[in-house]
């Protein structure tokens, strides 16, 4: 399993007022050729956090796979695609989000 990681924070969420650091990872399962996004630190259930995987054939135009409310996304096939994990959260009626760097699965 290979992970591409992005950490941001502290971020403002409705439940803590700014003390949460969020760690988002792209998990790539080499045997099955699937990827998923995972919040491994800082998940706050009251912040309406959504996670998903995006994929691209050219590393510039991205397509979002199903957005899921929670700390883990659905899986998406990654073979011959650039993949990245993305998330967003709600604070004061505004959505804030970010993505990890991309990973290319060549085999």
**Residue 16: pLDDT band by 50, 70, 90 thresholds?**
low
Confidence of residue 67 (pLDDT cuts 50, 70, 90): very high
Determine the Cα–Cα distance for residues 13 and 103; give it in Å rounded to an integer: 28
Task: Determine the average pLDDT of the residues in 39-50.
Answer: 86
Q: Does an H or E element contain 20, and which?
A: strand 20-29
Structural domains for the chain? 2-104 (2.60.40)
């Amino acid at each position: 399993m290979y992970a591409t990681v992005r950490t941001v924070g502290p971020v403002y969420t409705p439940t803590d007022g700014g003390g949460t650091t969020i760690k988002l990872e792209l998990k790539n399962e080499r045997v099955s050729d699937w990827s998923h996004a995972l919040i491994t630190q800082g998940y706050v259930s009251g912040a309406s956090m959504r996670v998903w995987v995006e994929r691209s054939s050219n590393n510039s135009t991205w397509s979002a796979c199903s957005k899921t409310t929670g700390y883990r996304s659905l899986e998406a096939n990654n073979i011959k695609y650039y993949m990245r994990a993305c998330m967003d959260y709600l604070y004061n009626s505004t959505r804030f989000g970010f993505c990890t760097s991309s990973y290319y699965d060549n085999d």
